[in-house]
Chain A
Amino acid sequence: NAGVTQTPKFQVLKTGQSMTLQCAQDMNHEYMSWYRQDPGMGLRLIHYSVGAGITDQGEVPNGYNVSRSTTEDFPLRLLSAAPSQTSVYFCASSYSTGDGYTFGSGTRLTVV
């Protein structure tokens, strides 16, 4: 039981490049979400999903896309990376909306 697995752990992108941050969970959790963490800003919700085929925007969705084709996977796509997207990204999952989250270990992204 691996929990929530995020890859890669570190990534450096040039402005304008695209990439996908991977997130997978093996706990059969319906609810998954992506957060970004910036100094002094706490954790801000980017996108979330309440089940396969269902996604919705969070607080800071601009510049990011998501899809949920399976229960296990919830990738986050950066379409055209910008320096403002330099951050630590966390994926989290829970069994339901009223349960605690299990977080991944994060992806540290730098856009130069």
Chain B
Amino acid sequence: GENVEQHPSTLSVQEGDSAVIKCTYSDSASNYFPWYKQELGKGPQLIIDIRSNVGEKKDQRIAVTLNKTAKHFSLHITETQPEDSAVYFCSRSGGSNYKLTFGKGTLLTVNP
């Protein structure tokens, strides 16, 4: 199916540490994997995405990796800052439908 499993559901780190959020998917036709950040009271905001023809993508302190064989992808945040505290969602789309399916989210707390 189109389900996406996301772990962990909560993550607490010290400022300056790294944070990793992992997602797995089941639909082998999935070919687009965006990540969203949602701050309290706001809508989700796209922070980085990766397509199935790429194994890794980096944007400053944020990176995403994709393992198509294992059907999992991960978000890596280095040198975390308090403003990184938010809920992060992984998602996927692809195949014969146009639906973007989301994981259930990870609440990241960066402690100063």
A98–B32 CB distance below 8 A: yes
Point out the residues of chain B lying under 8 angstroms from A56, CB to CB. Answer: 98
Contacting residues, chain B, for A106 (C-beta < 8 A): 42-43
How close is B111's CB to chain A, nearest CB, in angstroms? Answer: 23
Residues from chain A with Cβ under 8 Å of B100 in the complex? 33, 45, 101
Cβ of B46 < 8 Å from any Cβ of A? yes
B residues near A35, Cβ cutoff 8 Å: 102
Judging by beta carbons under 8 Å apart, are A48 and B42 in contact?
no
Contacts of B31 on A, CB cut-off 8 Å? 98
Give A56 to B42 CA distance when docked, in angstroms: 26
Consensus secondary structure, chain B interface: strand
Tell me if A's interface is mostly helix, strand, loop or mixed. strand
Task: Tell me, yes or no, whether A40 is within 8 Å of chain B by CB.
Answer: yes
Cα–Cα distance between A35 and B89 once the two chains are bound (Å)? 13
Known contacts A31-B98, A40-B104, A100 near B49 by CB under 8 Å: yes
Q: How far is the CB of A104 from chain B (nearest CB, A)?
A: 6
Per the bound structure, the CA–CA distance linking A105 and B94 in Å amounts to 26
Q: Which of A91-106 contact B (CB under 8 A)?
A: 92, 97-98, 100-106
Query: Please, which residues of chain B bring their CB within 8 A of the CB of A33?
Result: 100
- CB-nearest residue of chain B relative to A94? B100
A43: interface (CB < 8 Å) = yes
Q: B103, A105: Cβ atoms under 8 Å?
A: no
Tell me the complex Cα distance, A56–B102, Å: 18
The interface of chain A, by Cβ under 8 A from chain B, is: 4, 31, 33, 35, 40-45, 48, 50, 56, 58-59, 90, 92, 97-98, 100-106
